[in-house]
Chain A
Amino acid sequence: MPLVTEPTIYNADEANVIDQFLKTGYIIFPVEDLNSLAKIRSNLYENAVKALELDSPPPESDFFDNAQKFILPEYLNEIRLGLIDKLNKNPDNAALFYSLAKNHLGWIVGNEMAIQRSYNLGIQLPKDSSSILPLHSDVWSGNSPYEVVLWTSFVDCHKTKSMYLLPLKENQKIISNFQKYSSMTAEEIFSEVEDKVVWLEVPYGHVVIFWHGLLHGNRINEEEKSRWTVNLRFKGLLTPYHAKELGEYFMPLTIRPITRIGYQYKKPKI
C-alpha cells in the first residue's frame, strides 16, 4: 500500500521516490547527469595521479578500483586530505554534484536548499582497518535530522566494499528502545543489528540519497578492490539547523525569488 495517496499532486516518478524514501529512509538511483559524474571522476583522477607522482599512471578506468596498488596505507590519509582540499577549492563542484540528483533532491528535500561546504572523500583500500567507520547516526553528533547525504561512488560498490545502513523501520525500533542500547559500544550495537542492516549495491553511475539519522557505517573492505566515494549533505534552506550551522557548515544553494522579496519586505509605516 503506497504511503503517498495523492497521485494528483505528484507525478509517478516523484510519488515512487517519496514512497520509497518514507518506507526505508534511502534510495539508490542512476545519476541524472552522467557527464557530470564523469567530469568529477576525471578531475579526481588527475589530482590523484599528480598527488601520487605516478610515472606511468594507469588509465582512469583502472585506477580507482586498483588504488591499493598505488597508495601505501601509511600515506592514505595524507593523499585523501590533499584530494579533499582540491575538491573544496573547485567552485564548479557544487553544481556538478547537484546535477547528479537534482530531481531526486527536489522531491525528497525541497527546492530551496543548503549544501554542505566541504566534500568528504572516503577511500577504502582492501583489508585496510584505518578507514573503518563504526556504526553511528550523524544526528547524534551535531547534524540536524532535516538533512540527507548524497553518496556518490566512483567505482562499483557491493558487500563490504560498500557501506551499510539500517532501514527506517528497524532504525525507529532502536531509537524508541534506546535505553537498551545506551550502554553498548558501537560494535555491540552493530552485532545486535547485523542481520538487519542493508549493504548498499551501488554500480558506478548510480548514487544514494540517505537520511543520516539511519544507523550506518562501514567495515573492513574484504573485497579485492578499492572504494572511492564522496558524501555531501543537503537540507531545506529554512529548516532547523543544529550544531552544523548555515554559513559555517552549510551554504545556501538555491534561494527562490519570493523568499528574497519576502525577507526584504518592510512593513509600511504610517
Chain B
Amino acid sequence: MNKNWRGYIFSREIGKQVVPQRVQNLVIRTCAERHGLTYLLSATEYYMDDCYMMLKSVLDELGQIEGIIFYSTHQLPSDTNERMKIYDKVLNSKKGLRFALEDLALFDEKDVKLIEDLKFCNELSAQAIDLDSYQESLN
C-alpha cells in the first residue's frame, strides 16, 4: 500500500499563535514516524487570511497520496461548509487526514463528528471569559 502522506503547514497564525514552520514540520515528521508513514515535503499555505489555495491543490493530489498530515486541527477552515467539502473529498477518495499536534486521524464519519465537536467546543470555550479578564472587569 502507498504510504505517502503530504505535510500541510501554515505561514500565518494557528489558533492565535505563530508556530515556526520548522516546529510545524518537526511535529508532522514525528507523527509520520510514529505511525510508520512516509512523509512528503509539506505544502505551505499562503499567509493571507482564510486562504486555502495550497490545501486545494493538495486535495487535488489525493489520487497519488494516502492523505494529508496537518500540523493541527486549528488549520481547518473556520467555515463549516468549507470543512465539510474537505471531509467529503477525502472520504470519497477513501483517503485520510491526520492532525499531528493532537495525534488524531480522520478516516470515517465518526472521526468527522469528533473533529467537528472539537472545533465547536474550542470556539465556545474561547468565548468563555477567562479568570484574568473577569477579575479585570471587576476593577
Q: Report A's interface with B, CB cutoff 8 A.
A: 114, 144-145, 237-241, 245-248, 252, 255, 259, 263
Contacts and interface: CB of A to CB of B under 8 A. Distances in A.
A237 B128 CA distance: 11
Contacts of A145: 131
Interface in B14-39: none
A27 to B, nearest CB: 22
Given A247-B104, A248-B101, A248-B102, A241 B124 contact: no
Among B114, B123, B130, chain A packs the most CB atoms within 10 A around the CB of B130
B121 A238 contact: yes
A211 to B, nearest CB: 13
A145 B130 CA distance: 10
Nearest to A237: B121
Contact of B128 (A238, A248, A255, A263): A238
Contacts of A259: 124
Interface of B: 72-73, 99, 101-102, 104, 114, 117-118, 120-126, 128-131
A252 B118 contact: yes
Nearest to B125: A238
26 contacts: A144-B130, A237-B121, A238-B121, A238-B124, A238-B125, A239-B128, A240-B125, A240-B126, A240-B128, A240-B129, A240-B131, A241-B122, A241-B125, A245-B122, A246-B121, A246-B122, A246-B125, A247-B73, A247-B118, A248-B72, A248-B102, A252-B114, A252-B117, A252-B118, A255-B117, A263-B123
A247 B124 contact: no
User: Interface of chain B, helix or strand or loop or mixed?
Assistant: helix
A239 B122 CA distance: 9
A255 B125 CA distance: 13
A249 B106 CA distance: 18
A238 B124 CA distance: 6
A157 B44 CA distance: 53
Contacts of B101: 248
B128 A246 contact: no
A240 B130 contact: yes
Contacts of A255: 117, 121
A171 to B, nearest CB: 15
B32 to A, nearest CB: 18
B120 A247 contact: no
Contacts of A248: 72, 101-102
Contacts of B123: 263
Nearest to A235: B125
A247 B122 contact: yes
B92 to A, nearest CB: 22
